[in-house]
Amino acid sequence: MFKVILVRHGESVWNEENRFTGWTDVDLTKKGVLEAIKAGKLLREHNYSFDIAYTSVLKRAIKTLDYILEETDLLWIPIIKSWKLNERHYGALQGLNKQETAIKYGEEQVMIWRRSFDVPPLPITAEDDRYPKRDLRYKELTDLEIPLGESLETTIERVIPYWEQEIIPQIKAGKHVMIVAHGNSLRALMKYIENISSEDIMDLNIPTGVPIVYELDDNLKPLERHFLGTQERVQEKIDVVADPGKIME
Distance CA 169, CA 47 (A): 24
Quick check: is 16 catalytic? no
Q: Which of 87, 150, 182, 249 is catalytic?
A: 87
9 classed as catalytic:
yes
Q: Which residues are catalytic?
A: 9, 87
